[in-house]
Amino acid sequence: MKRSRFTEEQIIGVLKEHQAGLGAAELCRKHGISDATFYNWRSKYGGMEVSEAKRLKQLEDENAKLKRLLAEQMMDVATLREMLGKNF
């Protein structure tokens, strides 16, 4: 997965500038991001504090790890079932 150039703290800082009254187009120009990136950030991080964003990132990482583990287990089960099917 591609790493972002911006940390959660920076993203939330940009969003707080928007809440303070700066326009979206002006912020995008100032920080060198596209309008789509800004609106994606706003939908994901809007109204969050830095600690909440860090917790969200931690939960997303944990979720990805659990999904990988589940996929590996499902492959193991499928392999075992295939082996059992050939023996009988």
CATH number of the domain to which 28 belongs: 1.10.10
Cα 55-57-63 angle, rounded to 5 deg: 100
Q: In 10 A of CB 55, how many CB atoms?
A: 13
The model's pLDDT over 2-23, given as tens digits with 9 standing for 90+, comes to: 677 899 899 999 999 999 999 9
Q: Considering the domain boundaries, does residue 3 fall inside one? A: no
- What is the residue-averaged pLDDT of the chain? 91
Q: Considering the domain boundaries, does residue 2 fall inside one? A: no
Whole-prediction pTM: 0.66
Q: How many domains does the chain have?
A: 1
- Report residue 68's pLDDT band, with 50, 70 and 90 as the boundaries: very high
pLDDT at 85 over 90: no
